[in-house]
């Protein structure tokens, strides 16, 4: 790969640089980026300046570096997930209005649940989910739905891998997880009390394409002891409407 003795390509370096940015660290000095990405100072400065010139990164008033709007634009405007998001949004809004709790849309990405959208009323409860954030498939309600309908391959990989407990109530026993997944496939929904956050219960349903394959999960985060039935009915309705809006007819 690149001319670097360190043996990483320019692409690798670019990704490593972008990965130094997180939701809580959106602006940093070039030197910081270099340290975190494991790049020599002069290289870090040179590459970051190049990226700023290209518009992929930006400088704020204090010359700190941020991810550029240009990158967001390029990534968003041709993302196929945008179509899914736009189709689902009106129906997510309806769920949000009626249930008045966090409503979210997630897809399967690299063995995790990636959240494409989150709607929250000002008075909604706690929620650790973020737009463009991730949660493990075996813990989050969205993830469980995505996992239940994922390839056998992925299921086995997750079941045999270490199942990290996010809370004491997260399912970490492979046999129990297997039973839960079977139940999700039968019932077409999941109720996940306290798996991600002890004070909340996630409920989720699948969104399918015309072949019946599950392409996304719609979910709501309720207070731990809330009634789940109404939210599930609304989620199912919105999932169907989203499928229709995408042009899928089954």
Partner DNA sequence: CGACCGTTCCCGCTCAATGGGAGTCGTGGC
Partner DNA sequence: GCCACGACTCCCATTGAGCGGGAACGGTCG
State the binding string over 56-95 for DNA (x if CB under 7 A, else -): -------xx-------------------------------
Chain centroid offset of residue 98 CA = 23
23 sits near its own copies (criterion: CB under 8 A): yes
Which of its own copies, DNA, none is residue 249 near (CB under 5 to 8 Å by kind)? none
Closer of 54 and 126 to DNA (Cβ): 54
Torsion from C-alpha of 128, 131, 135, 139, nearest 10 degrees = 60
- Nearest approach, Cβ of residue 89 and its own copies (Å): 7
* Both tokens assigned to 249: 């007819």
How many residues at the interface with DNA, by CB under 7 A? 25
Angstrom CA distances, 40 to 4, 11, 30, stand at: 10, 16, 11
- CB nearer to its own copies: pick between 123 and 227: 123
C-alpha to C-alpha distance for 139 and 135, rounded to whole angstroms: 7
Of 6 and 79, CB closest to its own copies: 79
Distance CA(134)–CA(118), nearest Å, equals: 12
Interacting positions 203-232 with its own copies (CB under 8 A): none
Q: Which of 72, 176, 178, 213 binds its own copies (CB under 8 A)?
A: 72
* Partner whose footprint covers residue 155, from DNA, its own copies, none (CB < 5 to 8 Å by kind): none
The CA distance from 161 to 153, in Å, is 12
> Nearest approach, Cβ of 71 to DNA (angstroms)?
19
128 binds its own copies (CB under 8 A): no
Give the residue, chosen from 31, 40, 121, 229, that forms a contact with its own copies under the rule CB under 8 A.
121
Q: State which of positions 34-53 bind DNA (CB under 7 A).
A: 39-43, 45-47, 49
Structure tokens at 56: 């992929």
- Kindly provide the residue ranges of all beta strands, DSSP E only, lying in the chain, ordered along the sequence: 27-28, 57-59, 65-67, 102-109, 112-119, 134-136, 190-193, 200-208, 214-223
Q: CB nearer to its own copies: give 66 or 236.
A: 66
Residue 234 CA to residue 240 CA, distance in Å, equals 10
Q: At closest approach, how far in Å is the CB of 54 from its own copies?
A: 5
């Amino acid at each position: 790969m690149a001319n670097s003795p360190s043996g990483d390509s320019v692409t690798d370096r670019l990704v490593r640089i972008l990965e130094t940015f997180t939701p809580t660290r959106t602006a940093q000095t070039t030197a910081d980026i270099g340290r975190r990405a494991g790049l020599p100072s002069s290289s870090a400065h040179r590459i970051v300046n190049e990226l700023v010139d290209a518009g992929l990164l930006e400088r704020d008033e204090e010359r700190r570096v941020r991810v550029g709007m240009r990158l967001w634009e390029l990534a968003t405007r041709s993302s196929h997930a945008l179509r899914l998001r736009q189709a689902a949004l009106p129906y997510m809004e309806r769920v949000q209005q009626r249930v008045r709790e966090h409503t979210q849309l997630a897809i399967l990405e690299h063995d995790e649940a990636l959240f494409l959208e989150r709607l929250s009323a000002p008075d909604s409860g706690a929620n650790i989910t973020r737009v463009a954030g991730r949660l493990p498939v075996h813990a989050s309600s969205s993830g469980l739905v995505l996992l239940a309908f994922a390839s056998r391959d992925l299921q086995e990989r997750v079941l045999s891998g270490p199942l990290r407990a996010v809370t004491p109530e997260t399912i970490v026993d492979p046999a129990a997880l297997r039973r839960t997944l079977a139940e999700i496939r039968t019932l077409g929904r999941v109720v996940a009390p306290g798996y991600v956050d002890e004070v909340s219960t996630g409920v989720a349903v699948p969104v399918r394409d015309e072949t019946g394959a599950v392409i996304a999960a719609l979910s709501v985060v309720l207070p731990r002891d809330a009634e789940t039935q109404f939210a599930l009915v609304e989620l199912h309705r919105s999932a169907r409407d989203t499928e229709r809006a995408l042009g899928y007819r089954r």
